[in-house]
Amino acid sequence: MASGTSTDTGVTPSSDKYSLSLATLELDLESEGDSAETRDVNPSGSVKANTGVGNPAAEPATGGRMPLPCRARVLAALAHQPTDRVPRLLYEEAIGYTPPMERLLREHCAPQSPREYFDMDITRVTFHPTRLPRSRFADWLGSDAEASLARGEVDEWGVRRRRGDFHHFVRFEPSLRGIRDSRQLEEYPWPDLDQSYRWIGVRERVQALQHEGLAVVGYAGSIFERSWSLRGMEDLMMDMLRSPPLAHQLFERTAALQCSAAEKFASAGVDIVITGDDVAGQQGLLMKPGMWREFLKPRLAATIRAIKKIRSKTYVFYHSDGNVEALIPELIEIGVDILNPVQPECMDPAAIKRRFGDRLSFWGTVSVQKTMPFGTSDDVRSEVRARIRDVGGGGGFILAPAHVLGPETPWENIVAFFEAANERRVPGL
C-alpha cells in the first residue's frame, strides 16, 4: 500500500497489509486500546461478540465458530484475511439516509436504529454544521436570493438546491455559473470546513463507536462533483478544455477543503476515509483519461498522501458510479484501498476481483437499479450469494447495495439482503 508516495505497482500481495495474520490483527487492535472496546468478556473468560438483537437478519450463521466483533471483521476483510462472514451494511449508513428510506426503516426497525436492527458492521461520524450565515451568498444567487435563503434552499457552499418533483431529488443551481474572472473565485465566500470548531468531539465520537465494536468511516467530500455543483457541469467541462487555469483554480479550492476534512478524520482515528467523484457513466469515463490525470488524479493523490502521513492504518475509499475500470490501475498506484461501488450494470464484479483483487478491496456490487428495487426476495438472495462467492474469496470485500436504495425498494428485499449475507460463508473458510 502506498504510504505518502505513489508507486508504479501499488499494493502487492506480499505487502505488510496483506500478509497480516488474524493474530497480528488482534494485537494491533489491542495496541490501540480496542481489545476491551470491541469485545465483552464473560466471567468464564470467553469472548462475547457484539451481534444483533434477536432479529434473524442480524444473526450470522458461523458454523459453530465465535463471531468476530464488527470492527475486527471489517479490518480483517480489508487486510485480506479470513472472516466468519462478509462485512455488510446499507450504503446509507456510511453517507446518510434518504427521506423515503429513513421513513421505511423507522417504520420497521424502531425503536432500534437500522444499524442496530441489522447489526451493520460500519457506521459514520460527521463534523458539526457551520456557524457562517447563508446570507453571505446573497450577492451570488441572483434576483430571488432572499426567497431562496428564506426557504432554506442554499447549502453551505452557496449552491441552491430547489426541491424536485420526485421524493428526495433536487435541482442544483450553481452559484459560480457564468463567471470568467479568477478574482471572483478568490472573493467567493467559501465554507469553513477547515475550522477547528467544526471538529470538536469528533475524535471522542470515533472512539466511542469503536468501543462499541464498530468500524467507523468519515466522508471527506469530492473534488470534481463539488466543483461542477458550484460551476455547472457545462461551464466546468468547457473550462477544462478552453480555460484550464480557471478550472485548476476551482479544483484547488475544492481539493484543499477535501484534503483538510480527510486529515481531520484521519487525526480522529477513523478506520476509513471516504473520498470520490462520479467521473464515469455506464458507458465509460466522462472525460479522457489524460484530462483526469491532469486535473483530478494529482489532487486525489495529495489527499491520500495526507491521510497516510497522519494515520497509515486508515483505509482510503474511492467512490465513482459508472464504469471506471480504465482508471483502476492508477487508483491503485496512488494508494486507493477500497473501490466503490463496482456498479454491476456496467462492471463485472467477478472479473474486477480476478484482475485487481490482490491489490484492492471492494465495497458494494449489489444492484440498486434492478435487483434491490424490482427483484424478488429470492433474486436478492441469489445476487448476494453470487457476490460473496465471486468477490468475497480471499477477503477484500464489504457487501452493500451499490448506492442508496430507491424509494421503490421493498422492506422484504432489505431483509433478504442481510439474511443471505449472514447465511453464506466466505469462500476459502
pLDDT tens profile 337-378:
999 999 999 999 999 999 999 999 999 999 999 999 999 999
pLDDT at 37: 34
pLDDT band at 13 (very low <50, low <70, confident <90, very high): very low
Residue 46 has pLDDT above 60, yes or no: no
Residue 92 has pLDDT above 50, yes or no: yes
pLDDT band at 427 (very low <50, low <70, confident <90, very high): confident
What ranges do the domains of the chain cover?
16-128+201-221+261-423
pLDDT band at 32 (very low <50, low <70, confident <90, very high): low
pLDDT band at 297 (very low <50, low <70, confident <90, very high): very high
Within 8 A by CB and 6+ apart from 166, the residues are none
Please provide the DSSP assignment of 114-126 as one string: HHHHHT-SEEEE-
Helices (H), 120-216: 145-150, 182-187, 202-211
pLDDT band at 245 (very low <50, low <70, confident <90, very high): very high
pLDDT at 336: 98
pLDDT at 167: 61
Within 8 A by CB and 6+ apart from 374, the residues are 408
Report which of 184, 188, 151 is spatially closest to residue 170, judged by C-alpha positions: 151
Q: Which residues of 66-76 are buried (b: 16+ CB within 10 A; e: fewer)?
A: ebbbbbbbbbb
Digit-coded pLDDT (tens) for 104-139:
999 999 999 999 999 999 999 999 999 999 999 999
Within 8 A by CB and 6+ apart from 209, the residues are 123, 125, 216
pLDDT at 233: 96
Query: Which three cell numbers mark 300?
Result: 486525489
Residue 295 has pLDDT above 70, yes or no: yes
The dotted CATH code for 16-128+201-221+261-423 is 3.20.20.210
pTM of structure? 0.87
Give, to the nearest 10 degrees, the angle between helix 22-31 and helix 70-78.
120
Query: Which three cell numbers mark 174?
Result: 450553481
